[in-house]
């Protein structure tokens, strides 16, 4: 299925229904989906409404806005935009990816059980394990790429599954349609963290997920200048529940960051294509180096997840990992690159490099890291949108004696 066919489907029709605009192809959607010119002034960009409160004509009679935690037009434009891109009915913007996850987990109550992907973002693991289990939630960590192991993790009180369809740094791929089937059969909600593929490459709601969550800090923002989280839900009932929690818990995204994020998201299509092409070329080059013992990129032939993503996504993303052979070489490379910044995070226009075991995944206990295969010689790359030749030369220079 071409990306055009996939994205011209029923979900694009949702976007159309909500805003009276024609169903369009992915790149057009990235620019136009959730908002048009400002009806009052014609401004092509959504104004930044710096107003914490909104005047009412009579008590309870207003223009749709009362108090900006509950709703603000700038944030709402962003929320409509992400809902349209993901093919959902409602979107919600939060102060960070983890604020979004905190709000989602608050759908649950003490005694409920949640299944979490065993290779999820370290902060997700920490949130569940250190915060929510203290409040009485039970959690099991399961490999969602192994359907039988995953299915065995369900309990009668399992209410939610949280997973990433493409994980990092190990680049494990899960069959979302099968994960969704099993989850539905157990009457639980499937939450997919779509930070890595973004709706440009994969739309989990169309594959059976109930909710999508993003660290918009990464690819959606795309310029390493905003921290934000987004949620999209598949139906109005969940929409009402999340809106209730968003307002009740208050972890909303501010209006200036909402504007920045909207601005970044308009170029998502162009950026994702450039990130993925650079990741593919770097992965290919690394695979030919004698000192590299393993390259993990789902777009490389032979990667176990390649076939699933070829069916359920329209691209392989911009992240890759490789084993530099020894921790010493890994450290040398990440300390000597000049174009790749040694930094946590990912998804910005600039390339980043890191050692997950010592940085992003340091909050995972060492035994658990070892069991998962996150070794001290594993190097993670977030491919930016620079010239691939320059990035490869930088790596070659850094790896040299
Ligand atoms: C960064 C990240 C998060 C957390 O998001 P923040 O915006 O940093 O709070 C969650 N999931 C994934 C996959 C991430 O990469």
Q: Which residues is 90 bridged to in the sheet?
A: 233
Q: What are the pLDDT digits (tens) for 38-58?
A: 888 999 999 999 999 999 999
What ranges make up the beta strands (E) of 85-226?
A: 90-94, 113-117, 138-142, 158-163, 189-193, 211-215
- Residue-level pLDDT at 97: 98
Same domain, 132 and 251: yes
Task: Report which of 86, 152, 159, 162 is spatially closest to residue 120, judged by C-alpha positions.
Answer: 162
Domain count, the chain: 2
What does the pLDDT look like over 215-252, one tens digit per residue? 999 999 999 999 999 999 999 999 999 999 999 999 99
Between CA 240 and CA 197, with CA 139 as vertex, the angle to 5 degrees is 65
pLDDT tens digit sequence for 4-42: 333 333 333 333 434 455 678 889 999 988 778 888 899
Task: Examine the fold and report which residue of 265, 298, 316 is the final residue of a domain before the chain moves on.
Answer: 265
- Give the Cα separation of 22 and 268 in Å (integer): 20
Three-state DSSP at 161 gives strand
**CATH code assigned at 383:** 3.90.1150.10
Residue located nearest, by CA, to atom 2 of ligand 1: 215
Of 265, 300, 332, which residue constitutes the final position of a domain? 265
Are residues 227 and 273 both part of a single domain? Answer: no
pLDDT at 244: 98
Looking at the structure, tell me whether residues 224 and 294 fall in a common domain. Answer: no
Mean pLDDT value of segment 344-373: 90
CA terminus-to-terminus distance, the chain: 46
120 and 85 assigned to the same domain: yes
Are the CB atoms for 91 and 81 separated by under 8 Å? yes
Strands (E), 43-157: 90-94, 113-117, 138-142
The reply to whether 59 and 170 lie within a common domain is yes
Domain assignment present for 27: no
Look at residue 22 in the predicted model and tell me its pLDDT. Answer: 65
Compute the distance between CA of residue 387 and CA of residue 390 in angstroms, rounded to an integer. Answer: 6
**Tokens 């039970």 found at:** 138
What's the Cα-to-Cα distance from 129 to each of 124, 137, 291, 395, rounded to whole Å?
Answer: 8, 9, 37, 36
Give the best-scoring range by mean pLDDT among 42-46, 144-148, 360-364: 144-148
pLDDT for the residue numbered 9:
31
Instruction: Show the domain range for 63.
Output: 33-265
- Domain contains 11: no
Domain for residue 26, yes or no? Answer: no
pLDDT class of 370 with cuts at 50, 70, 90: confident
Task: Tell me if residue 218 is catalytic.
Answer: yes
pTM, two decimals, is: 0.93
What's the chain's average pLDDT?
93
217 lines ligand 1 (CB under 6 A): yes
Question: Are 323 and 372 found together in one domain?
Answer: yes
- Whose alpha carbon is nearest atom 7 of ligand 1? 97
- pLDDT value for 10: 31
Give 289 Cα–ligand 1 centroid separation in angstroms. Answer: 31
């Amino acid at each position: 299925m071409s990306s055009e066919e996939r994205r011209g489907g029923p979900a694009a029709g949702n976007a159309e229904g909500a805003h009276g605009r024609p169903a369009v192809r992915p790149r057009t959607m990235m620019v136009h989906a959730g908002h048009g010119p400002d009806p009052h002034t014609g401004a092509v960009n959504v104004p930044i409404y710096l107003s914490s409160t909104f005047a009412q004509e009579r008590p309870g009679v207003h223009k749709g806005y009362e108090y900006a935690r509950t709703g603000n037009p700038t944030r709402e434009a962003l929320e409509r935009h992400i809902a349209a891109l993901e093919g959902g009915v409602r979107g919600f913007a939060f102060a960070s990816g983890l604020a979004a996850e905190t709000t989602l987990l608050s759908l649950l109550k003490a005694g409920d059980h949640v299944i979490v992907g065993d290779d999820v973002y370290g902060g997700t693991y920490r949130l569940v394990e250190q915060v929510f289990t203290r409040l009485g939630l039970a959690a099991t960590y399961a490999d969602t790429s192994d359907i039988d192991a995953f299915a065995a993790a369900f309990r009668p009180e399992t209410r939610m599954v949280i997973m990433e369809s493409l994980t990092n740094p190990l680049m494990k791929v899960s069959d979302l349609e099968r994960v969704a089937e099993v989850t539905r059969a157990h009457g639980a909600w499937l939450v997919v963290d779509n930070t890595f593929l973004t709706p440009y490459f994969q739309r989990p709601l169309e594959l059976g997920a109930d909710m999508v969550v993003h660290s918009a800090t990464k690819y959606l923002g795309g310029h390493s200048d905003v921290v934000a989280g987004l949620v999209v839900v598949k139906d109005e009932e969940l929409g009402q529940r999340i809106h209730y929690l968003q307002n009740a818990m208050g972890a909303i995204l501010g209006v200036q960051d909402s504007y920045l994020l909207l601005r970044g998201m308009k170029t998502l299509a162009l950026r994702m294509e450039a990130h993925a092409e650079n990741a593919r070329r770097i992965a290919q080059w690394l695979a030919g180096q004698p000192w590299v013992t393993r390259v993990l990129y789902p777009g490389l032939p032979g990667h176990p997840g390649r076939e699933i993503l070829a069916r359920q996504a329209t691209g392989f993303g911009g992240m890759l990992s490789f084993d530099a052979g020894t921790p010493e070489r890994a450290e040398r490379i990440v300390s000597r690159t000049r174009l790749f910044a040694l930094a946590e995070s990912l998804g910005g226009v600039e390339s980043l490099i890191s050692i997950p075991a010592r940085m992003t995944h340091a909050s995972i206990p060492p035994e658990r890291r070892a069991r998962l295969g996150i070794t001290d010689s594993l190097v993670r790359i977030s491919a930016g949108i620079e010239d691939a030749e320059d990035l490869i030369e930088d790596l070659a220079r850094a790896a040299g004696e």
